[in-house]
Amino acid sequence: MTISANPVRGTRDYLPKEMRLREAMQNIILNVYQEAGFQRIHTPILEDIERLDKSDGGENLNLIFKILKRGQKLDLTKENLTENDLADAGLRFDLTMPLSRYYANNRAELRMPFKVIQIDQVFRAERPQKGRLREFFQCDIDIIGDESSRAETELIHTTAKALKALGFTDFTVRINDRRILTGLILTAGFQPEDVGSVCITFDKLDKIGAEGVKKELLEKGYPENVVEKFAGSLLAGGISDLSAAGELCGNPEAAAGLAAIMDRAKTLAAGSYNVEYDPSLVRGMGYYTGTIFEIASPKFKSSIAGGGRYDKMIGKYLGEDIPAVGFSIGFERIFEILSESEEIPFALGKDRLALLYNAEDDFIEVIKKAEELRAEGYAVATMVKAKKLGKQFTNLEKDGFLGAHILGEEGIKIFGARE
Contacts with its own copies in 34-73 (CB under 8 A)?
34-48, 50-51, 54, 65-68, 70
Contact with its own copies (CB under 8 A): which of 29, 61, 81, 291?
Answer: 81
Site string for its own copies, 283-312 (x = CB under 8 A): ------------------------------
Stretch that binds its own copies, among 1-9, 171-179, 189-197, 290-298 (CB under 8 A): 1-9
Q: Long-range contacts: 390-395, Cβ < 8 Å, 24+?
A: 392/356, 393/418
Query: What does the alpha-carbon distance between residue 307 and residue 141 come to, in Å, rounded to a whole number?
Result: 9
Distance between CA atoms of 404 and 168, rounded to whole angstroms?
34
CB atoms within 10 A of CB 29: 24
Strands 135-144 and 172-177: unpaired
**How many whole angstroms separate alpha carbon 270 and alpha carbon 403?**
43
Q: HSE on the CB side for 27, CA within 13 Å?
A: 10
Chain positions 195 to 234 lying near its own copies, rule: CB under 8 A, are none
Q: How far is the CB of 129 from its own copies (least distance, A)?
A: 16
C-beta of 364: minimal distance to its own copies in Å? 5
Question: Strand locations in 131-263, DSSP E?
Answer: 135-144, 172-177
359 binds its own copies (CB under 8 A): yes
Please, which residue, 70 or 130, has the CB nearer to its own copies?
Answer: 70
x-or-dash string of contact with its own copies, 310-339, rule CB under 8 A = -----xxxxx--------------------
Report which DSSP code applies to 129. B
Q: CA 294 to CA 186: how far, in whole Å?
A: 24
- Please state the closest distance from residue 209 (CB atom) to its own copies, in A: 29
Q: Which of 93, 123, 222, 230 binds its own copies (CB under 8 A)?
A: 123
CA distance 345 to 338: 9
Task: Pick between residue 341 and residue 395 the one whose CB is nearest to its own copies.
Answer: 395
Residue 87 near its own copies by CB under 8 A? yes
**Phi, psi (rounded to 5 degrees) for 143:** -120, 120
Region binding its own copies by CB under 8 A among candidate stretches 105-113, 196-204, 336-344, 403-411: 105-113
Q: Given candidates 60, 153, 201, 291, which one binds its own copies under the rule CB under 8 A?
A: 153
The residues in 366-405 that bind its own copies, with binding defined as CB under 8 A, are 366-367, 370, 374, 378-383, 395, 399
Contact 116, 39 (CB under 8 A): yes
363 neighbors 415 (Cβ within 8 angstroms)? no
Is 104 a binding residue for its own copies by CB under 8 A? The answer is yes
Q: Which residue's CB is nearer to its own copies, number 125 or number 218? A: 125
Closest to its own copies by CB, 23 or 241: 23
Cis amide leading into 113 (omega within 30): yes
Rounded to a whole number of angstroms, the minimum distance from the CB of residue 67 to its own copies is 5
Residue 415 within binding range of its own copies, rule CB under 8 A: no
Q: Is 319 exposed, middle or buried (0-12, 13-18, 19+ CB in 10 A)?
A: exposed
DSSP 345-364: SS--SS-EEEEEE-TTS-HH
Q: Which residues are CB-contacts of 16 (< 8 A; sequence separation ≥ 6)?
A: none
Under rule CB under 8 A, residue 266 binds its own copies: no
Name which position in 25, 142, 157, 304 contacts its own copies (CB under 8 A): 157
Q: Which parts of 125-144 interact with its own copies (CB under 8 A)?
A: 125, 134-135
Is residue 89 involved in binding its own copies (CB under 8 A)? yes
